[in-house]
């Protein structure tokens, strides 16, 4: 081969020399590519199947009449084995979504397993949505994502070791003047927990996460809105990035997210006939009627339908009214305007009064949470844990002393 090349090169000019080298390189590239393809096609059938089977293919099998025999560890809902196979490769996402009247309706929240609602500022509520089982069946975008407060972190910390935490900034003392008290500094708390480190489980647009995980969608509502109401996020993209960072179902050290996770007790529907409670209504702050909430009992489906500010509260993407199998009201201590930035603080650790609405009735009891990472448990008057009906639960955080009508 060497002698042949020398003979060829002696008989060509420098210009022809370049041309010969070009053809030679093309030949080697084509043979190498052919070898690679041939080698791939010679893989064992199982290897090929694994390489070609993706998330979209798995999702295509979900609605084929498969039995729903797999229990979601987050809310007890029943799903197919295909869905379970997807979520078992992931860990929960805890996302902060806003509820400003100008940002409604939200996108994607109807797919959350659990939703917490509490005032973020000035009587305006915000959501902490937990996505795990209900988010696997389809590609899901959520909006509008907003900034975090410390008490939302305390509830998110219940969902195992380092959930994927999605938000846009948060309360902090950016000026260094102490205008935000230390107890309200959400970003400092995230750093203290070890979440807010480079390529950690804290996904924040103001820190280390951008497109394709987060982007501004000014056209989502079909009308002009302020920039702060436009942040959208892709859960599929977040999960892909989480896997790269070592935060799939198990972390880089092989520790599963749910090693210390405490699941609630769940039970099947046990609706009472006739229902004892058909309407639940309350406000967070008396001067903010746009954030008043009403839940109406749907006896046919044994669920509660949500209205917010006197209107049906819908998911923009599905067009369906938000609903829940359980509506849990937690009465907590509220400390308003704790600093110059008028931040709020809510009691998250300890105990207090609770109302659990389910099956067309109400169970009066208490809530209890021993530590930041501990699970909030709901107990009846005899001190026994109240089982929750399988499916979506909304946890409403109400200032102690507020009246709930039912």
* DSSP β-bridge partners for residue 256: 250
Q: Are 92 and 132 in contact (CB under 8 A)?
A: yes
The residue among 297 and 52 whose pLDDT is bigger is 297
Q: Are 95 and 233 in contact (CB under 8 A)?
A: yes
Query: What confidence score (pLDDT) does residue 328 get?
Result: 98
Residue 239, phi-psi category: left (phi > 0), alpha (psi -120 to 50), beta (remainder): alpha
Mean pLDDT over each residue of the chain, to the nearest integer: 88
What the block records as the tokens of 239 is 């999960």
> How does residue 5 score in pLDDT terms, banded at 50, 70 and 90?
very low
What is the per-residue pLDDT across 10-61, written as a single tens digit (0 to 9) for each?
443 333 333 333 333 433 333 343 333 333 333 333 433 332 348 888 898 8
Q: Give how far Cα 384 sits from Cα of 13, 140, 270, 365, Å.
A: 93, 37, 18, 9
* DSSP β-bridge partners for residue 121: 124
pLDDT beyond 80 at 85: yes
Question: What span, in angstroms and rounded, lies between the C-alpha atoms of 256 and 183?
Answer: 30
pLDDT beyond 80 at 8: no
Query: What confidence score (pLDDT) does residue 63 get?
Result: 81
Element (H, E) at 115: strand 114-121
For residue 242, which phi and psi values (nearest 5 degrees)?
-60, -40
CB neighbours of residue 71 within 10 Å: 16
Query: What confidence score (pLDDT) does residue 257 get?
Result: 97
If you average pLDDT over residues 138-155, what whole number do you get? 97
What is the per-residue pLDDT across 222-246, written as a single tens digit (0 to 9) for each?
999 999 999 999 999 999 999 999 9
Q: Which of 6-20, 173-187, 357-371 has the highest mean pLDDT?
A: 357-371
pLDDT beyond 80 at 76: yes
Mean pLDDT is lowest, of 23-37, 83-97, 143-157, 179-193, for 23-37
Query: In the block, which residue shows the tokens 């393809």?
Result: 37
Quickly name the fold that domain 57-244 has.
Answer: YerB-like fold (3.50.90)
The residue among 173 and 155 whose pLDDT is bigger is 155
Query: Can 57-244 and 266-405 be said to share one CATH topology?
Result: yes
Share of the chain above pLDDT 90, in %: 79
CB neighbours of residue 320 within 10 Å: 11
Query: What confidence score (pLDDT) does residue 294 get?
Result: 98
**Which superfamily, per CATH, for 266-405?**
YerB-like (3.50.90.10)
pLDDT beyond 90 at 398: yes
What the block records as the tokens of 374 is 């501990």
Residues 6 or more apart in contact with residue 395 via CB below 8 angstroms: 114, 115, 116, 117, 155, 328, 330, 376
pLDDT beyond 50 at 201: yes
Query: What confidence score (pLDDT) does residue 74 get?
Result: 98
If you average pLDDT over residues 287-314, what whole number do you get? 98
For residue 60, which phi and psi values (nearest 5 degrees)?
-65, -15
What is the per-residue pLDDT across 315-365, written as a single tens digit (0 to 9) for each?
999 999 999 999 999 999 999 889 988 899 999 999 999 999 999 999 999
What are the sequence ranges of the domains in the chain?
Answer: 57-244, 266-405
């Amino acid at each position: 081969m060497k002698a042949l090349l020398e003979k060829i090169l002696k008989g060509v000019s420098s210009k022809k020399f370049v041309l010969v080298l070009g053809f030679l390189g093309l030949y080697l590239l084509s043979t190498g590519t052919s070898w690679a393809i041939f080698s791939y096609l010679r893989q064992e059938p199982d290897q090929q199947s694994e390489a070609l089977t993706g998330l979209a293919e798995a999702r295509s099998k979900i609605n084929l009449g498969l039995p729903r025999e797999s229990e979601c560890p987050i809310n007890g809902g029943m799903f197919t084995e295909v869905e379970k196979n997807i979520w078992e490769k992931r860990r929960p996402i805890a996302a902060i979504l806003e509820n400003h009247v100008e940002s409604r309706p939200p996108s994607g929240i109807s797919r959350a397993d659990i939703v917490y609602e509490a005032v973020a500022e000035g009587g305006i509520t915000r959501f902490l949505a937990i996505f795990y089982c209900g988010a696997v069946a389809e590609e899901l975008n959520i909006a509008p994502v907003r900034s975090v407060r410390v008490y939302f972190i305390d509830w998110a910390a219940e969902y195992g070791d380092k959930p994927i935490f999605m938000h846009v900034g948060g309360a902090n003392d950016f000026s260094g003047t102490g205008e935000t008290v230390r107890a309200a500094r959400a970003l400092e708390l995230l750093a203290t927990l070890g979440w807010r480190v480079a390529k950690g489980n804290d996904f924040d647009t103001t820190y280390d996460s951008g497109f394709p995980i987060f982007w501004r969608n000014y056209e989502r509502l079909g009308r002009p809105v302020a920039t702060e109401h436009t942040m959208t996020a892709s859960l599929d993209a977040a999960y892909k990035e989480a896997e790269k960072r070592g935060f799939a179902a198990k972390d880089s050290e092989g520790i599963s997210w749910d090693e210390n996770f405490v699941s609630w007790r769940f039970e099947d529907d046990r609706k009472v006939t006739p229902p004892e409670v058909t309407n639940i209504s309350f406000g967070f702050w008396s001067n903010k009627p746009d954030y008043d909430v009403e839940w109406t009992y749907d006896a046919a489906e044994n669920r509660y339908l949500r209205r917010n500010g006197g209107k049906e509260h819908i998911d923009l993407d599905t067009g369906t009214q938000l609903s829940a199998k359980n509506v849990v009201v937690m009465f907590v201590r509220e400390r308003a305007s704790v600093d110059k930035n008028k931040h709020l603080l809510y009691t998250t650790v300890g105990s207090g009064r609770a109302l659990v609405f389910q099956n067309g009735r109400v169970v009066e009891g208490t809530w209890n949470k021993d530590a930041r990472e501990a699970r909030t448990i709901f107990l009846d008057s005899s001190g026994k844990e109240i089982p929750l009906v399988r499916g979506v639960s909304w946890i409403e955080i109400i200032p102690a002393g507020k009246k709930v009508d039912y």
